[in-house]
Chains A and B, each alone.
Chain A
């Protein structure tokens, strides 16, 4: 029974990755000019650049960003013992938008402030904003000991930073559209360097989260039980918050605010297989990657040659799937 179960987890993981690989091939052929770019790539430098420098990195980037969000989502849900937790819970989303708003405002300002902002770039500003927001949350919550305090601090930081962002947009209304673009989320601007950053952060976070997964299994049985297992709860929790902040920050910085992937990926995994947190984290990453990559393909394909912001699609698709899942479970008398 046990080995059969393990085999099922493995098969599921391999299926997720295989599907991801197949979709990636489609990713090379979908865009403003369609498959002919792929065929022309052999003798046409621009077609080659489109396939190799634009479509491939953005397809892989979508997978990586989705994986980071799926990973962060499963960590958040385990850490807060709450199935509604998502990666943006500790204020990173509003921190990142605030960072982008400040950078955009500086772009429009004097030459000196602009050069400062340009050195950091929009992605840098978003990352710094996201990580600072989580630090602020931790400071308000006085550490990671009390889950509820941490949650509350996260919500408050999110609201306050969001309001500051709104103040900035009122002062300089011309940044509104670029900011809205960031908030809707898009993989259209992901290049190879962004992929490298996300891959590096993703690998580090995955390893760390995987190693710390037993503490999440312990926490699932209650804080007292976890403590009674003799785990250094404080330090491990702090490390998991770091994983959460880094993974979310890296994804948000490169692709903007992508809704629902972090929330939905762990739920989708749990609806197929039952596994420990170590397995859940890895599978959620693979699921998140697959989700965002598929959504990105749809975003490029639906109204080609134009494209939709992918965050809108993930919210619509992920949200409706979760609703359906809840409805089905509800009908059977259980809870999600």
Chain B
């Protein structure tokens, strides 16, 4: 008898929690600014692809009314109005959508202007694995969805699974991940570097150089990586760079070239980081296994 009352008690608590969620609440964003929301926002604009993906991962894709030019995942957001990018944010188009919350990155230029126009602006910018989790939690709090913990667990487990599925011989390879042909590299402390570390790879760019250092090409030649990961766009002519033909990865053809859609997955610190880990794992298994 007593036991049967327990679920209903839980339900009551759950209901009251929902009722609480419908009341006004405060959220502290990454600027340290407290934004008070009268209720979980129902018309959301996101101006950063990883935030768009985060909102959708929490099942609130239908609450999005507009996104930036670069948000292209999941497919549901492709039909939404495009509100410009870092170069040309379109204030008027954002206001015209009457959003009750705008989510954007730290470096966005429109933050102050949108706030002056009376919109609720939340600055959230994931840059690392830990950030992805933190931002998911924050989005969860904002949206009132209570999904973040489950989703994070699934993402995390999936990354671990990708790592475990790698053949033992593939571990400990020395990897160079090129972000663009300047060349900028993804170092050990970057989001990409963290994923590589979890896959058991050794990054040739140590954390001490910062997340995305601009390297001297000579550095890569000397480090002599076993495997190179690069986007198709900046891969052209890699073998012809002076001295690069001697690099082990180039000599043995161990270069993974990721197309534009795959690159999007790899470089965005968002809920698709498990997909990114699988992409990298597949590359490692194919080229080095």
A111-141 at interface with B (beta carbon < 8 Å): 111, 114-115, 118, 121-122
Choose from B92, B98, B107, B112 the contact partner of A32 (Cβ within 8 Å): B92
Residue B110 CB within 8 A of the other chain: yes
Q: Give the residues from 89 to 135 in chain B that come closer than 8 angstroms, CB to CB, to chain A.
A: 89-93, 95-96, 98, 106-110, 112-113, 116-118
Interface assignment of A317: CB less than 8 Å from any CB of chain B? no
Does B110 contact A186, Cβ atoms closer than 8 Å?
no
Contact of B107 among A31, A174, A191 (CB under 8 A): A174
> Which of chain B's residues has its CB closest to A177's CB?
B86
Q: Are B214 and A188 in touch, CB under 8 angstroms?
A: no
- Structural contact, B82 and A306, CB atoms closer than 8 A: yes
User: Any chain A CB within 8 A of the CB of B244?
Assistant: no
At the interface, yes or no: A33 with Cβ under 8 Å from chain B?
yes
Residues on the B chain within 8 Å of A182, using CB: 109
A11 interfacial contact with B, CB 8 Å: no
A53 within 8 A of B: yes
- Contact present for B95 and A173 (CB under 8 Å): no
| CB of A322, distance to nearest CB on chain B (Å) | 26
B85 CB-CB contact with A under 8 Å: yes
Q: A184 in the interface, Cβ–Cβ < 8 Å? A: yes
**With A54-B91, A306-B82 in contact, is A107–B106 under 8 Å at CB?**
yes
Interface range on chain A (Cβ under 8 Å from partner) = 35 or more
B173 to chain A, nearest CB (A): 26
B116 partner residues in chain A, CB cutoff 8 A: 191, 193
A146 on the interface (CB 8 Å rule)? no
- Which A93-108 residues have a C-beta within 8 angstroms of B? 104, 107-108
- The chain A residue with its CB closest to the CB of B98 is A46
Interface status of A277 (Cβ within 8 A of chain B):
no
Q: Which residues of A contact B93 (CB under 8 A)?
A: 32-33, 305
Q: Is the beta-carbon distance between B84 and A46 smaller than 8 angstroms?
A: no
- Asked whether, in the complex, the Cβ of B88 is within 8 Å of the Cβ of A46, the reply is no
Q: Is the CB of B117 within 8 A of A54?
A: yes
Cα A104 to Cα B87 with chains together (Å) = 14
**CB <8 Å contact, B31 and A50:** no
Q: Given the complex of chains A and B, what is the CA–CA distance between A55 and B117 in angstroms?
A: 12
**A171 contacts B92, CB within 8 Å?**
no
Say yes or no for B258: interface residue by CB 8 A criterion: no
Question: Which residues of the partner chain A approach B109 to less than 8 Å between Cβ atoms?
Answer: 122, 178, 181-182, 189
Q: Does B184 contact A (CB under 8 A)?
A: yes
Q: Is A308 an interface residue (CB 8 A)?
A: yes
Give the shortest distance, in Å, between A206 (CB) and chain B (any CB).
27
Closest residue to A191 on the B side, CB-wise?
Answer: B116
In angstroms, Cα B85 to Cα A309, docked, is 12
Q: Is the C-beta of B177 less than 8 angstroms from some C-beta in chain A?
A: no
Q: Which residue of A lies closest to B110 (CB)?
A: A189
Compute how far the CA of A114 lies from the CA of B108 in the bound complex, rounded to whole angstroms: 13
Most chain B beta-carbon contacts within 10 A, residue among A46, A50, A178? A178
Q: Which residue of B lies closest to A176 (CB)?
A: B86
Chain A residues near B112 (CB, 8 Å)?
121-122, 189
In the complex, chain A residues 143-193 whose Cβ is within 8 Å of any chain B Cβ: 170-171, 173-175, 177-178, 180-182, 184, 186, 188-189, 191, 193
| B32 at the binding interface (Cβ < 8 Å) | yes
Interface contact A107-B117, CB-CB below 8 Å: no
Which residues from B are CB-within-8-Å of A118? 31
A177 touches which of B98, B107, B110, B113 (Cβ 8 Å): B107
Is the CB–CB distance between B214 and A32 below 8 Å?
no
Count of chain A to chain B residue pairs whose CB atoms are closer than 8 Å in the complex: 94
Complex interface: chain B residues within 8 A of A307 (CB)? 84, 88, 90
Query: Which of A50, A170, A186 contacts B95, CB < 8 Å?
Result: A50
Inter-chain CA distance A249–B261, complex, in Å, is 42
A49: Cβ under 8 A from any B Cβ: yes
Asked if B14 is at the interface (CB within 8 A of a chain A CB), the reply is no
Provide the residues of chain A in CB contact with B118, threshold 8 Å.
49
- Nearest residue (CB) in B for A308 is B88
A 287-310 binary contact with B (CB < 8 Å = 1; else 0): 000000000000000000111110
Q: Which residues of B contact A37 (CB under 8 A)?
A: 96
* Contacting residues, chain B, for A188 (C-beta < 8 A): 88-92
CB distance from B157 to the nearest CB of A (A): 29
B176 at the interface (CB under 8 A from A): no
Q: Are B84 and A306 in contact (CB under 8 A)?
A: yes
Query: Shortest distance in angstroms between B115's beta carbon and chain A's nearest beta carbon?
Result: 10
Q: Does B210 touch A at the CB level, under 8 Å?
A: yes
Q: How far is the CA of A309 from the CA of B93 in the complex (A)?
A: 15
Using a CB–CB distance below 8 Å, which chain A residues touch chain B? 31-33, 37, 46, 49-50, 53-55, 104, 107-108, 111, 114-115, 118, 121-122, 170-171, 173-175, 177-178, 180-182, 184, 186, 188-189, 191, 193, 305-309
17 residue pairs from A and B, CB less than 8 Å apart: A32-B92, A49-B117, A50-B96, A55-B92, A114-B32, A115-B31, A115-B32, A121-B112, A178-B86, A178-B107, A188-B89, A188-B92, A189-B109, A189-B112, A191-B113, A307-B88, A309-B87
Known: A111-B31, A173-B184. 16 other contacts (CB 8 A): A32-B92, A33-B92, A46-B96, A54-B91, A107-B106, A115-B31, A170-B214, A177-B107, A178-B107, A178-B109, A181-B86, A181-B88, A181-B89, A186-B88, A189-B91, A306-B82
